[in-house]
Amino acid sequence: MSQPKEIFVVMSRCTACKTCEIACAVEHSGSKNLYGAISEKPIPKSRVYVEWVAPDGKVPIVCRHCEDAPCMHACISGAISRDDEGVVITDSDKCIGCWTCVMVCPYGVIGRHLEEHKAYRCDRCPDREIPACVSSCPTEALVYQTVDAFSSDARKDVAGEMLAGEGD
């Protein structure tokens, strides 16, 4: 079996433009375009978070789909499972909004949709070849690669390595 691709971050390239956040929300909308998405109910949500570390660190954070996914095991309603590609998926029909996954995710990448009373998270864009955040990134700070290809990349940096690390 070929190694699945993952989303890696090259922090030094991130300008914190947050284009990925918008692209992610749009991809997870009904209309899949910004103009439609913006007025949709329920409001579409981004599952990637561009954070800031003083004084100038820009850090896109996205679900790692941890090998030992704490969210999946902690879920008290069986709503979180791993698909054949290794992607950890939250089935929102099964989610009861107890937020146990939020409590155990050490990356803080599980969002809460308040109107819907459902947890949501990165699903690596099942309808796309390349996740929306990656293809939208204007500076190629997000990279969609296999672990091997990414680590053999000359531009490999500490941040990427850290973010590729698995959950606790």
Ligand X SMILES: Cc1cc2nc3c(=O)[nH]c(=O)nc-3n(C[C@H](O)[C@H](O)[C@H](O)COP(=O)(O)OP(=O)(O)OC[C@H]3O[C@@H](n4cnc5c(N)ncnc54)[C@H](O)[C@@H]3O)c2cc1C
Binding mask 18-57 for another protein (x = CB under 8 A): xx-xxx-xx-------xx-xxx---xxxx--x-xxx---x
Residue 98 or 130 with smaller CB distance to ligand X: 98
Cβ-contact 28, 45 below 8 angstroms: yes
Select from another protein, ligand X, none the partner in contact with residue 159, using the beta carbon and a kind-dependent cut-off of 5 to 8 Å: another protein
Nearest to 97 by CA among 108, 109, 110, 107: 110
Are 137 and 8 spatial neighbours (Cβ–Cβ below 8 Å)? no
CA–CA separation, 135 and 147 (whole Å) = 18
Nearer to ligand X, 43 or 104 (CB): 104
102 lines the binding site for another protein (CB under 8 A): yes
Dump the DSSP string for 17-76: --HHHHHHHHHTSSS-SHHHHTT-SSPP---EEEEEETTTEEEEEE----TT-HHHHH-S
Position 76 contacts another protein (CB under 8 A): yes
Are β-strands 88-90 and 80-82 bridged in parallel, bridged antiparallel, or unpaired? antiparallel
Residue number with CB closer to ligand X (1 or 76): 76
Minimum Å gap between C-beta 115 and ligand X is: 22
Binding characters for ligand X, 78-117, by CB under 6 A (x = yes): --------------------x-------------------
The rounded radius of gyration (Å) of the Cα atoms in the chain is 16
105 scored as a contact of another protein (CB under 8 A):
yes
Give the nearer residue to ligand X in terms of CB position, either 76 or 158: 76
Check residue 76 for interaction with ligand X (CB under 6 A). Answer: yes
Q: Supply 157's token pair.
A: 């940096």
Residues contributing to the site for ligand X (CB under 6 A): 76, 98
